Amino acid sequence: MPIDPASWVTNDDYPAMAIEQGLFGTVEVAFTVDDTGRATACTTVKSSGSTLMDEATCAATMPRARFEPARDAQGRAVAGLALRRVHWQAPFDADTHLILYAQRVRLTIGARHKIEKCELWRSSDAVSVPSPCDVVAGMMLLAANWASEHGSGVLDHIERMSIDGVPDIDFPAESAVGPDWTRTMHMTVDDRGRVIACRMVATNSKQTRCIGEQRFLASSGRRLMLVR
């Protein structure tokens, strides 16, 4: 049983290069635990798609990870193994602009989950949002998830951010054919520009959590005021 796992990784542990590249994902690691509950080794079981974040996971958790030791039939503490997952989501600065966006990506996926081509359609209001095609780790995970269900082929995917009380960003009529998968981050923002609730809705995932409570500014530089 892990002891206080929420303290094992902090925003300060997020690799600076990963933040710059917009990398995110989930890493599953296996700990070797001694009979005192201390982790003595850490191995990546399931990669995030980024070696940088995989290595950062073990580097951050090894010094902090503590467990209730396993017990044998006589109730004596013994060494054992423990699995944990760490989800990396880049921290946001307090002055980050909150920009509504909707991005449509078409991935051509070949053998062994290889991305052969990545094409992007996006709304004119999202010109300052990085292209998903530039976030290599994110696209690799998307391609792997798709290929595990469908094999090679073409994936039509939409990434969207929406805010309660604010009209969503829509695509031009010529790109209105429905996508295969969608993922939308829904936020509730108060009149001080503070995110007070956030949930993720994805057609290919049970993920419901997204970023935590942060303060954002409207893209104009003014506090974001919502129409309720």
Q: For 109-167, how does the pLDDT look when each residue is reduced to its tens digit (9 = 90+)?
A: 988 888 888 887 765 555 556 677 776 666 777 788 788 888 888 888 888 888 888 87
Instruction: Give the closest residue to 26 by CA, choosing from 38, 9, 12.
Output: 9
How is residue 189 written in tokens?
Answer: 């923002």
Return the pLDDT at 42.
93
d(CA 13, CA 59): 9
CB 2 within 8 A of CB 116: no
Domains of the chain, earliest start first: 5-88 (3.30.2420.10), 97-218 (no CATH)
pLDDT in tens, 170-225: 665 545 556 788 888 888 877 766 677 788 888 876 556 664 444 444 444 444 44
**pTM summary value:** 0.48
CB 132 within 8 A of CB 139: yes
As a dihedral over the C-alpha atoms of residue 11, residue 9, residue 184, residue 179, rounded to 10 degrees, the angle is 120
d(CA 49, CA 124): 30
